[in-house]
Structure 1
């Protein structure tokens, strides 16, 4: 058998979804197992972290508009000064990373953190880097998803910074850009940003190939 013939017969390795038991590995506390070192952790910033304290919450919705109640989300963000943490993920008071799962009953996910500052972004037409608008990067995985989905969350009260953001500018249709914008609410003195994620169909969230 020639070398070229041997490689011609190779086939793609079958893909596999996250399965219905992803919580056992990603969030054992939510699955009712001993927390150990992989405990679910929705709190990204400790009480001593600088910046405006905020809560982010929402639903993951499928193509039919139904709440996905077995999804897991991870988030990365800069601190209030626009700096990413250089130490371990568990370092206090700001870790810059968190993980949440949707509630098995309500489908709601949530994070508590501080609002991030602008960070260095992509270069503009003049070759100079422009600051990215304050944002969070989210990764979503759920039963039926072959590859984790990556998106960004921007803030609706940062309209001027959003208009300059190079990544948002890559999304040509304004309606599609709106799927990346979290809406600010005030609830009992707490600042809450609502951000629903639509996996497919009408109003599908913009996902990035990274």
Structure 2
């Protein structure tokens, strides 16, 4: 008896968008369809830590800000602890008033994204080495087949950044600088500018995780 083998074809890939906002960030697209909208504000009035604003653009190879990007961030709280059972760091507590995860879209007109959060504390990595304060980013948009992962470090944490085990994996200093956000004060608020470049000489370092 001859058995016929069916060869399955690979499913076609699809980039995110242009309707990614409707499913993941409906409020920005003008829809009020979720009971809980997970937006770009990670804090409450009771959240511990220094309040900061993160803003920037995702820029393509031609230098043009993308206007349909969706970005998610996740981070530790002010003590350096994640709101996740996998974080077993001793001596640190979870802040129940801090969500630790946020989602934002770039502005349809300007291409600028922003998050309202707190500056995280240093986190002990899996190998026991202390990592500099940082925020994890995930980026999706039209033209991006697989979501891109990167990190934002803080320009006013020079000593901690120099010792960070992840930054030290990046051989060239000029490439390391693509992960550093610069601090400024604006209207009484602390702002960190973090532009993400998808291509070109100043392409942001992305991680395969």
User: Do they fold alike, i.e. is TM over 0.5?
Assistant: yes
Contact 1:27–1:38 at 8 Å: present in 2 too? no
CA distance in structure 2 between the partners assigned to 1:175 and 1:62 by the alignment = 19
CA distance in 1, matches of 2:49, 2:206: 28
The aligned length equals 200
Pick the aligned partner of 1:97 from 94, 98, 101: 101
Q: Secondary structure at the match of 1:65?
A: coil
Distance 2:18 2:77 in 1: 34
Question: Going by fraction, where is helix more abundant, 1 or 2?
Answer: 1
Residue matched to 1:161: 160
Structure 1 equivalent of residue 65 of structure 2: 67
How big is each residue's C-alpha offset from its partner over 1:78-102, in whole Å with a ceiling of 9 and x where there is no partner? Answer: 0000011148xxx951000000000
The answer as to whether partners of 1:46 and 1:92 remain within 8 angstroms in 2 is no
Tell me if structure 2 keeps the 8 A contact 1:122–1:166: no
Residue range with higher mean Cα deviation, 33-42 or 165-174: 33-42
1:135 is matched with 134
Q: What is the Cα-based RMSD across aligned positions, in Å?
A: 2.0
Which moved further from structure 2: 10-19 or 161-170?
A: 10-19
**Secondary structure, counterpart of 1:112 in structure 2:** strand
Q: TM-score, normalised by structure 2?
A: 0.89
CA distance in 2, matches of 1:86, 1:35: 27
Q: Deviations over 1:27-61 (max 9, x none)?
A: 00000111413625111121211111100000010
Change (3 A) 1:175 1:74: same
Check if 1:114 corresponds to 2:113: no
Distance 1:46 1:14, change over 3 A: same
